Structure 1
Amino acid sequence: MEHRPANVVNIHDAPSKDYQEGQHWGGSYQPLTPVLDQQKGRLGVNLTRLPPGRAGCPFHSHALEDEVFYILSGRGLFRYGDKICEVGPGDCLSCPAGSGVAHQLANPFDEDLVYLGMGRNDPNEVCHYPDSGKVLVRSLGQVGYLEKAAYMDGEAELPKIFSMHRK
């Protein structure tokens, strides 16, 4: 048998990564596209297992990254904007970026929810978390809360560029 190239990954060989926090958040996933994952902004696919009683992540919307979820087994709840519906095997969920509509998957049922998650890992992504008011700015490596400020708030009377020029 020939050696398989790095861009061919069998699910049985993909490492599983746990991302659970507390009693009700997270599950595990297996990255199926490590060759694409090496360069940010490329399409990626993960196989995700969400155990009973857990939500995959907080309710959020994306500015740049479209996401698609394809349910393989189990049942779950899909929250999209102000609507919620039950999802199961064969359902494909589309979450377009830039719409301002947040989404979330959760599993209140008694067996694992297993699905493929597909999307880009954009280095410039900005996410909004409406339930908590948080904002993620990936390029800054920060999640936090924004406070309103005037455009010139905190800026020096003499712009720094002028003192830099004199040196």
Structure 2
Amino acid sequence: MPERPANIINVADVPEERSLPGVYEAPWKPLTPATTRPGALGVNQVRLPKGRTTSPFHYHLREDEAFFILSGRGVLRYGDALYDVGPGDCISCPAGTGVGHQLANPYDEDLVYLAIGPDDPHEVCVYPDSDKVMVRALKQVGYLHRAPYLDGEPEQPKIFAMIAARERSETSGGR
């Protein structure tokens, strides 16, 4: 039998990783290591212990997200409602709806599920409970405040100084 290529792995061979601390710490296994290009579909197996959630309540502007429950029980917060979830349930969280989602485990048994979604380099994620916004392309999470469109812009846009400098350079022969 030939050696397996990198795009075939067994979940038992993947070490658990940990990301966020405290109530957000939930071990996960990246099951699609060969899928490394931006925008590619990814699958993680998440093990959510009692009293934990994997992320703050949020919604995506560009990335659809789906969860498939393998074992255990949990609670899905979807918008303003709570739903019990368990083995065999598939949860779809489409992008662009403005409806937030969050999974939590208040039960004694670990909740184990597959988290499935793309890794869009231009994703924007909104956190309604804290009013934060994540802009992946800027590698920033923070707070937005309203401002007039031209707030902070110079009276004379820089482009006009650049045009003038280019014209001076052209008339002096590029010297």
TM-score (norm 1): 0.96
Give the structure with the larger helix fraction: 2
Aligned partner of 2:75 in structure 1 is 77
Computed over aligned residues only, the root mean square deviation of the Cα atoms, in angstroms, reads: 0.9
* Superposition map of 1:12-161 within 5 A: 12-22=12-22, 24-36=23-35, 38-161=36-159
CA–CA distance in structure 2, aligned partners of residues 50 and 20 of structure 1: 12
Q: CA deviation at 1:96?
A: 0.4
SS at 1:124 equivalent: coil
Mark the runs of 5 or more structure 1 residues left unpaired by the alignment: none
Structure label with greater radius of gyration:
2
| Distance in 1 (alpha carbons) for counterparts of 2:162 and 2:66 | 48
Q: Report how many aligned residue pairs link the two structures.
A: 165
Which digits, 9 at most, give the CA deviation of each residue in 1:99-136, with x for residues without a partner?
00000000111011100010001000001000000000
Query: CA separation in 1, counterparts of 2:162 and 2:115?
Result: 48
For the residues of structure 2 that align with 1:149 and 1:78, how far apart are their CA atoms? 35
Identity %: 59
CA distance in 1 between partners of 2:151 and 2:20 (Å): 39
Structure 1 CA distance for aligned equivalents of residues 41 and 72 of structure 2: 25
Q: Which moved more, 1:116-125 or 1:25-34?
A: 25-34
